[in-house]
């Protein structure tokens, strides 16, 4: 296989793992707190990531001259993940995934004031179209039932944090191997979730809470049921695979080509939502998916045609 073909294979594996990870977390959201789910996931993912690190060169790869940047990246990734996972507790999988995919458009928009990058009318038009897709999904006439329209802000907040992380990384020029970055992030998740347990693990802050996302975030830790242990292990392995495969994909292939294949996450989210949770996207979600995905793919096509890598220089998927 050519390097580009291998890159596409890696990104498709990463996208598949990401969809399985999201589905697993949504399955666990009714019984376990989010920080407990993240803790057990990170234990497994860190173990797998350390194996990848050893394969690529060992502990020496963890040395960095920009520890502050890695801490900032880890913080933004954690907020992005936590808000997205909180959305999964109440939202259909396809809708949450589609709203998160405005991230490349946010990156393009943020690059104007932060990086001083010129963005022409074509990409600005794509941003408007993508945001129109968000507006369609959040329109007053769309009935989201008990979850409330405000819950749709959670995946948008996740996309915003992710976008800031990617733009700041580009500005500061951080460089590390895929396995080292995965170890940094998973170790940060592990430490954060352990600290969350010390502060709120007894569930006292969940008393009186009624919104499913708040309950998912703050409920008390419970010992995992035997039947759920394989799910915890699965999402941990998937999390490690996402980071490593995505890093390899962007190492082997052209960014604008590889990034376009990440949109395979949208049909996978629709498929798992239907098969596992019985979710059928409503008309507004279908329209939003088409507008958001179309706008993002158009941005990538423009960047490829002009030899730029503004929005597609980094992977879309979360770790």
- Using 50, 70 and 90 to split pLDDT, how confident is the model at 61? confident
Residues 6 or more apart whose Cβ sits within 8 Å of residue 277: 26, 92, 93
DSSP states of 80-118 as a string?
HHHHHHHHHTTS-HHHHHHHHTTHHHHHHHHHHHHH---
Structure confidence by residue, pLDDT tens digits, 226-248: 999 999 999 999 998 887 887 78
Neighbours of 265 (CB within 10 A): 24
Would you say residue 255 has pLDDT above 70? no
Q: How far apart are CA 245 and CA 163, in angstroms?
A: 20
Would you state the pLDDT for residue 100? 92
Structure confidence by residue, pLDDT tens digits, 71-111: 887 888 889 988 999 999 889 999 999 999 988 888 777 77
Would you state the pLDDT for residue 148? 73
Would you state the pLDDT for residue 13? 94
- Using 50, 70 and 90 to split pLDDT, how confident is the model at 173? low
Residue 110 C-alpha from the chain's centroid: 18
**Mean per-residue pLDDT for 176-186?**
80
**Residue-range domain boundaries for the chain:** 3-306
DSSP structure class, residue 313: S
User: Could you tell me which of 290, 297, 294 has the C-alpha nearest to residue 311?
Assistant: 297
Structure confidence by residue, pLDDT tens digits, 264-284: 999 999 999 999 999 998 899
């Amino acid at each position: 296989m050519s390097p580009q073909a291998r890159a596409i294979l890696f990104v498709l594996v990463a996208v598949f793992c990401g969809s399985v990870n999201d589905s697993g977390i949504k399955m666990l959201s009714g019984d376990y707190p989010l920080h407990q789910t993240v803790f057990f996931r990170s234990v497994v993912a860190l173990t797998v990531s350390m194996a990848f690190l050893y394969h690529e060169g060992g502990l020496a790869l963890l040395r960095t001259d920009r520890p502050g940047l890695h801490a900032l990246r880890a913080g933004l990734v954690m907020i992005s993940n936590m808000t997205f996972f909180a959305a999964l507790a109440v939202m259909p999988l396809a809708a949450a995934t589609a709203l998160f995919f405005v991230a490349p458009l946010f990156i393009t928009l943020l690059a104007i004031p932060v990086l001083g990058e010129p963005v022409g009318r074509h990409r600005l038009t794509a941003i408007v179209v993508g945001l129109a897709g968000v507006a369609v999904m959040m329109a007053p006439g769309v009935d989201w039932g008990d979850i409330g329209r405000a819950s749709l802000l959670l995946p948008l907040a996740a996309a915003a944090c992710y976008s800031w992380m990617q733009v700041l990384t580009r500005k500061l020029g951080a460089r590390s191997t895929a396995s080292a970055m995965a170890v940094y992030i998973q170790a940060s998740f592990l430490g954060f979730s352990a600290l969350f347990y010390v502060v709120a693990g007894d569930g006292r802050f969940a008393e009186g809470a009624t919104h499913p996302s708040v309950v998912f975030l703050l409920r008390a830790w419970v010992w995992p049921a035997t039947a759920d242990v394989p799910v915890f292990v699965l999402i941990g392995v998937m999390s490690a695979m996402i980071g490593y495969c995505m890093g390899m994909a962007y190492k082997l292939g052209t960014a604008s080509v590889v990034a376009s294949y990440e949109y395979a996450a949208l049909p996978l989210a629709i498929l798992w939502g239907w098969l596992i949770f019985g979710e059928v996207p409503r008309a507004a979600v279908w329209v939003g998916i088409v507008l958001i995905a179309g706008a993002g793919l158009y941005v990538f096509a423009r960047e490829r045609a002009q030899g730029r890598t503004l929005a597609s220089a980094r992977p879309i998927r979360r770790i």
